Amino acid sequence: MWEAIERRTGARSHRRKSAWSVAAAAAALLAVSTAVWIVAHAPTAPPGANLASLMAQSQQLERRVARHGAPEDAAWSASRRALVYRIADLDRELAPLSIDPARDPVRAEQLWRQRVGLMQSLAELDRAGAPPRTLAL
């Protein structure tokens, strides 16, 4: 008799566990699909929205490079020259887009990002090649 009771209660317990498992799986699936939908439909910045920020970063880096000046080391000067020429190439591509950025905002943003990256490299190269500063006492 106890065995029959145990079998019946065990079956109910098993059904309850499987119902909770199904409910948990459904909730997890709902949460994941909601997250995917939110990410897919999240508003994004329009193309070229970061242009002003990129231009400002580029100008700031250009001032920093001009302030520090070029190191005299010949090994650095070859690398520096390559960076400067690449920046000049980008500037040539940017010239028509600077007049009318709405013409191709995606391309303008790509070029400004590249320019900022190259200016950062140039600033780091100049800083690495600069002579150590001494404190005047």
Q: Mean pLDDT throughout 79-97?
A: 91
Q: Which of 8-17, 40-49, 94-103, 108-117 has the lowest mean pLDDT?
A: 40-49
Domain limits of the chain?
Answer: 1-42, 51-129
**Which has more confidence, 123 or 26?**
123
Is residue 10 a contact partner of residue 71, using CB atoms and an 8 Å limit? no
CA–CA distance from 24 to each of 17, 18, 29, 30, 45 (Å)?
Answer: 10, 10, 9, 10, 36
Helix axes 74-99, 105-129, angle to 10 degrees: 160
The answer to whether 20 touches 82, Cβ cutoff 8 Å, is no
Q: Which two tokens stand for residue 41?
A: 């439909």
pLDDT digits (tens, 9 = 90+) for 6-55: 777 766 666 666 666 666 666 555 555 565 556 565 555 666 668 889 99
Mean pLDDT of 72-101: 83
Per mean pLDDT, which of 23-32, 94-103, 106-115 is the most reliable?
Answer: 106-115
pTM, two decimal places: 0.59
Place of tokens 């699909």: 33
Residue 104 pLDDT: 85
